[in-house]
Structure 1
Amino acid sequence: MSVAKKLASQTAVYGISSIVGRVLTYLLVPVYTARFAAAEYGIVTGLYAYVSFLNVVFTYGLETTFFRFANRPGTDRQLLYDRVLSLLLVSSVVLSGLLAWQAGPLLELLGLPPGHERYAVWLALILGLDAVAAIPFARLRLENKARKFAGIRMANILLNVGLNLFFIVLCPDVLAGKYLSSLQPLAARLYDPSIGVGYVFLANLAASAFTLLLLGRELAAFRFGLSLEPLRPLLTYAYPIMLMGLAGMVNETLDRILLPTWLPDNFYPGKSSLTAVGIYGACYKLSIFMSLVIQAFRYAAEPFFFAQSTEKNSPATFAMVLKWFTICCAVIFVGVSLNLELLAELFLKRAEYREGIAVVPVLLLANLFLGVYWNLSVWFKLTDKTYYGTYIGAAGAVVTIALNILLIPVLGYMGSALATLVCYFLMAAICWWLGERHFPVPYPVGRLLLWLLVAAGIVALGWFVAPENYWVRHAWHLGLCAAFVGLLVLVEKPQRVLARR
């Protein structure tokens, strides 16, 4: 039980910072949806979709590789740190320079409106800075310095949010004379209305640069040393991780890239394809409640799984972790799905954004299966068979591409959401099936699938049997949430189970 407590405490630290940070960031959604039309927000959504791909390219699997090799007996962790960070530093400078140099042609290739080249340059710098910060952050996780890791992440988010509010809300309002008229000369010098949504990227750039300053101690311990021969085994391990990550990004973000291309003209009457991307992107944000739990869990679980790999009872530990992770995510799925009306009113300020909320339960369930997949993927990471992750990710990417192309013309962005759900479910199923043959773990698969079916049934009941009265409807939804949690407690008896462990 001490092992589970250690993972839970680490997840709590990462989780609190992740949850608080993501909530603060999420509070920008009502700002964006109030200040920008859906078409403008579609530019942000589209560009950040490409950034997700490029983040994988910039780090090319070296973060997970660092964990794996650092836990091998006899490894000089400082030397490993120097070599990996040296390689990332050189590649980040080269890649950022290439992206900035080709900003104009790239925007044209991506089909985005002309005149936004500076946005691409800023994003190139963000990608480079974040890639360089990845290994110092990984070192903090390896050394179990969760509080420092969380503190720096929080500082990054607070600065990002603060700058967004300053440039997107405060400066325009001051210049419009809504308040603080005495600050108009200062606001006029600092604020350029022509930048518009570009301030979203500028705030991100400033926060990324500030993060490197906060990682000063970790960077000061770094000594540049680039020698390709010792890096070969690292790159051999890393490149399947990168390919797996690229496939994962296809599954996670390709829908927002394909929507403008495959959505038929006037599919949504009176709305452009970029507007549809903006609506879908804003509604996608409502699935954050699942993704932030998965992110927090991954921060703690990846080094935990590697550290536990040599323990005799590690398979039982991995099974227990998956069980309670899935149950907790099922509660989130039910709670958010049945209270979407309230959340949409709170965060999606313009009515045009709320037209797409039906995709949210589908995306929540999809992200739940993604979290299950990350749990199950421990087998190929511990057995150094990372190429299986590439195969699984590639299979998921094929499914994502095919279903998006087939379903977008018929169902619009709901087709993209369903494609994401099918993809992540199949990835989790294939990973479990292969894992049973290479690294057997006694996962309670049947029991967990039953709970997920019950959760999906309760959500469907809440959506399709909805009283017309506003207050009665919300009381009904809250009652269904309470019933699901009560059933879980009654059947699983978590306190007694944990006590016996």
Structure 2
Amino acid sequence: MGEGFDTYMTLVKHSLIYFIARGLSGLINLCAIGVYTRLTSPEEFGKYVMVLAVVEFVNAVLFHWIRYGILRYSQRYTEDQRGIFLSTIATLFFIMFIFTLILSQLVLWVLIDLGKWGELWQIGLVLLWIMAWFDLNLELLRADLSPGTYGWMLLGKSVLTFICIIVMLNFDMGAKGFIIGMMTGMLFPLIFVMKRNWKGIRIPVIDPNICKQMITYGLPLTITFSMHFVMVSSDRLILGWIRGPDESGLYAVAYDLTQQTLLLVMTIINLSAFPLVVHALENGEIAETHKKLQQYTTALFFVSFPATAGFIVLAPGISRLFLGPDFLDVAFTIMPLIAFTAFLEGTKQYYLDLSFQLGQRTWFQIWPNIIAACANVGFNFLWIPKWGVLGAVYATIVANLMAIVMSWFIGRKIFPLPFPSKEILKIVLATLMMVFILKPLATYSGFLILFTQIVLGLFIYISVGYVLKIGGYHRYFKNILGRMTRKR
């Protein structure tokens, strides 16, 4: 049990740090949504989310492939090769920086007359560069198994962004204030990690072999996650185009509040566990890789099932607490559906897609995402004119279901993933018990009431899970308690 326990405790330690960092950051972002919706109109928020959707899409297409290569290959290069590895990454980023600068000027000067949107898009270009560099630095910290620095950087960004946007909104800067606030919030944390992350780099220096690895591994993932951004962002853009920025803003607030909350818990497990899985696989430890994947899968669904069910049940109280009055009517209607959508999205992204990434056959990951993204865009154009925001939600649900089915069918032939069906059944039973208790209490709202509901739900779920011995976690709890008792 010694080695297995050490592996588990490493996972727990990293998960705890990521949970604190991501949890506090997510809590700040959730509170921020509540404040923003009371300081701005749906129209101004809609303009901001439309610009942000384009920025995130371009970031995914042109910069994310470098991020994926960092996570996959960082541990392959020793101290002797570290300098050339980092220099290659920095040079590749600089090349994409120049490319986006030229491309943006062509768009602004030749192809499109943006009119009143022109200033927003130019500021959005600067946001793109800062966001891409910030993401690269975060990924480097994650790949180097430095969750502490990662956490401080993420928290710093959230706090500073929150403060800066509030200041901007109080000066009536509207959508422009959101963008400037985001840029400021990312710039200051970057100052403190630049020397640590990029010491000794040389630009322009590129190792052809490293560059080839980065492109071969990262490009398919870039196409894949670009299609993911199409699924997430196309509804906002199409809503804004067909129904106006105000409806896009109403939809985006409800969507972000729900998705950020639920994907947060799944992201934490992935952040802490995936580098450990890759490390075992790189060392040729097949049995250990399978064992860690088993632990990872159980942990992923152990947190995502009850989180999704709890959010669906408590959605009315959550929306009343966090959102301004102008945003409530739409939120009541779509938040339970978006919670289900977020679960589907997280299951594909953090479970099924591992088959392609661990099997290094990421090109095959492209097709489910391309087909689902195209279907999502088509359904949006078909259903948004008819049902508005509900049409956008329906389109996303159907597209995610299509992506899940295709990813499972293709991925199982590349790198079969463990599916602990017995543990999943226990998780479902514990979740149903939690929902049964919480459902009669869902009509009440307020901060203390919501806090009590969450604590009660957690207590019921964990208690039932302990009795059912989900994932064997009860043994580790007993072991930890035993160690604490012996120390006393």
TM-score (norm 2): 0.83
Per-residue deviation, 1:122: 1.7
Determine if the alignment matches structure 1 residue 390 to structure 2 residue 362. no
The residue that corresponds to 1:348 in the other structure is 323
Determine if the alignment matches structure 1 residue 235 to structure 2 residue 215. yes
Contact 2:316-2:443 at 8 Å conserved across structures: no
Per-residue deviation, 1:482: 6.5
Size of the aligned set, in residue pairs, is 463
Structure 1 gap ranges (5+): 173-192, 263-271
Distance in structure 2 (CA, Å) of the matches to 1:419 and 1:452: 27
The residue that corresponds to 1:156 in the other structure is 157
Per-residue deviation, 1:386: 0.7
Structure 2 gap ranges (5+): 480-488
Q: Look up the equivalent residue of 2:116 and give its one-letter code.
A: G
Determine if the alignment matches structure 1 residue 367 to structure 2 residue 338. no
CA distance 1:498–1:461, shift in 2 (3 Å)? closer
CA distance 1:42–1:446, shift in 2 (3 Å)? farther
Q: Look up the equivalent residue of 1:252 and give its one-letter code.
A: V
Contact 2:266-2:303 at 8 Å conserved across structures: no
Q: Deviations over 1:421-469 (max 9, x none)?
A: 3333333343333333222233125863785699589869978x89978
The residue that corresponds to 1:183 in the other structure is none
The residue that corresponds to 2:309 in the other structure is 334
Determine if the alignment matches structure 1 residue 167 to structure 2 residue 144. no
Contact 1:396-1:427 at 8 Å conserved across structures: yes
Per-residue deviation, 1:318: 0.8
SS in 1 for 2:412: helix
SS in 1 for 2:87: helix
The residue that corresponds to 1:404 in the other structure is 380
Q: Deviations over 1:164-194 (max 9, x none)?
A: 222223xx5xxxxxxxxxxxxxxxxxxxx4x
SS in 2 for 1:400: helix
Q: Look up the equivalent residue of 1:313 and give its one-letter code.
A: E
The equivalent position to 1:68 in structure 2, one of 68, 72, 75, is 72
Distance in structure 2 (CA, Å) of the matches to 1:200 and 1:100: 23
CA distance 1:204–1:260, shift in 2 (3 Å)? closer
CA distance 1:363–1:45, shift in 2 (3 Å)? same
Determine if the alignment matches structure 1 residue 224 to structure 2 residue 225. no
Greater than 6 Å deviation, 4+ residue runs: 104-107, 456-463, 465-471, 473-482
Per-residue deviation, 1:196: 2.6
The residue that corresponds to 1:186 in the other structure is none
Q: Deviations over 1:375-400 (max 9, x none)?
A: 23222212210101112221321332
CA distance 1:353–1:467, shift in 2 (3 Å)? closer
SS in 2 for 1:357: helix
Q: Deviations over 1:141-168 (max 9, x none)?
A: 2222111111122112221111122222
The equivalent position to 2:394 in structure 1, one of 393, 418, 431, is 418
Distance in structure 1 (CA, Å) of the matches to 2:395 and 2:212: 37
Contact 1:240-1:389 at 8 Å conserved across structures: yes
RMSD between aligned alpha carbons? 3.3
CA distance 1:348–1:470, shift in 2 (3 Å)? closer
SS in 2 for 1:338: helix
Per-residue deviation, 1:480: 7.5
SS in 2 for 1:77: helix
SS in 1 for 2:145: coil
CA distance 1:488–1:415, shift in 2 (3 Å)? farther
The equivalent position to 1:277 in structure 2, one of 248, 258, 279, is 248
The equivalent position to 1:4 in structure 2, one of 8, 15, 27, is 8
State how 1:85-234 maps to structure 2 within 5 Å. Answer: 85-96=90-101, 98-99=103-104, 102-103=107-108, 114-169=115-170, 172=171, 193=172, 195-217=173-195, 218-227=197-206, 229-230=208-209, 231-234=211-214
Q: Look up the equivalent residue of 2:393 and give its one-letter code.
A: A
Contact 2:376-2:395 at 8 Å conserved across structures: yes
Contact 2:43-2:249 at 8 Å conserved across structures: yes
Contact 1:61-1:239 at 8 Å conserved across structures: yes
CA distance 1:97–1:136, shift in 2 (3 Å)? same
Per-residue deviation, 1:98: 3.4
More helix by share: 2
Contact 1:24-1:157 at 8 Å conserved across structures: yes
Determine if the alignment matches structure 1 residue 58 to structure 2 residue 62. yes
The residue that corresponds to 2:484 in the other structure is none
Contact 2:86-2:201 at 8 Å conserved across structures: yes
Q: Deviations over 1:64-107 (max 9, x none)?
A: 21232333377823311110121112212331453266448788
Distance in structure 2 (CA, Å) of the matches to 1:383 and 1:102: 39
SS in 1 for 2:417: coil
Sequence identity percentage: 16
TM-score (norm 1): 0.81
Distance in structure 2 (CA, Å) of the matches to 1:241 and 1:474: 39
